[in-house]
Amino acid sequence: MKALEVQGYSRDNLPYKAPFQPWGAYFALITTGIITFFKGYDTFIPFKTDTFITAYIAIPTFVVLWGSYKLYFKTKVIPLDQVDLISGKREIDEEEEQFLVEQAKLGPRTRLQRLWDSL
């Protein structure tokens, strides 16, 4: 979203916009955090080391794997003004035009045919 703004593209010009964005992503992140915290909550009362480790091992595992990937492949964050937003757009536009031509060849469609096509 930020790369679109920096490069002067409007989200309204995209062929697909996910509904409820960016709020849907925020909701998913917060919900995942809550679930991750509470899935092993019973290990705190009374505190048991073995159940705590098995309940929360995924968090340090994720951090170690992600950090190892970043270090091994030496990846970095791409600046917003350099993010490639248009690679492959010409091919997509050509394919869409071909699809529209094929749809025009089919002629008028009945409701049942349109329903079948949408499935």
pLDDT tens sequence across 30-59: 999 999 888 888 888 888 888 899 999 999
Q: What's residue 18's pLDDT?
A: 85
Give the other-Cβ count within 10 Å of 110's Cβ. 8
Q: Domain locations in the chain?
A: 2-85, 88-119
Q: What's residue 65's pLDDT?
A: 98
Q: What's residue 15's pLDDT?
A: 75
Residues 6+ apart with CB under 8 A from 21: 1
pTM over 0.95: no
Q: What's residue 112's pLDDT?
A: 92
pLDDT tens sequence across 66-118: 999 999 999 998 999 999 988 888 898 899 899 999 988 888 888 998 888 88
Q: Report the C-alpha gap between 115 and 12 in whole angstroms.
A: 27
Please compute the mean of the pLDDT values over residues 4-8 and round it to a whole number.
91
